Amino acid sequence: MNPVRPQARNEAGDLLFKCQHCASPLVVNAAAAGMTLNCQRCGKPTLVPITSASASPAPPQELTDLQRKLKENESQRTEITSYINQLSIQLHRWKLRLQTLNERKTELEEELRKTT
């Protein structure tokens, strides 16, 4: 009635799986394989699979997910910082250009006054 399924267990004898409703990573004792349990997050009944979602005791999905999000955040921040730097330089150039134009305007007005 309770056959041994070694492939379903990690070192701790626990089953790792995801809630069918909210996809929360859940850990239960391997003895609960095939049973229906209420999710710890959303409270809905979810089926405990016979085999573990991760056959090896690798880092849980949640951890790799967080690491991926952190990398994504890092690359986005680098990108935005680069944009801000570029625009700051561009702003500085426009200010210098405007200053030059203002000086030129004063010169031209001066010449105009002389010739009239």
Residues at the interface with Zn ion (CB under 5 A): 19, 21-22, 24, 39, 41-42
Q: Which is nearer to Zn ion, 62 or 111 (CB)?
A: 62
**Burial (Cβ within 10 Å: 0-12, 13-18, ≥19) of residue 2:** exposed
The residue among 36 and 73 lying less far from Zn ion, judged by its C-beta, is 36
- For the bound state, the minimum distance from the C-beta of residue 38 to Zn ion, rounded and expressed in Å, comes to 8
7-31 core/surface letters (b: 16 or more CB in 10 A; e: else) = ebbbeeebbbbbbeeeeebbeeebe
Minimum Å gap between C-beta 39 and Zn ion is 3
Question: CB atoms < 10 A from the CB of 52, how many?
Answer: 21
In whole angstroms, the minimum distance from the beta carbon of 32 to Zn ion comes to 15
Residue whose CB is less far from Zn ion, 8 or 19: 19
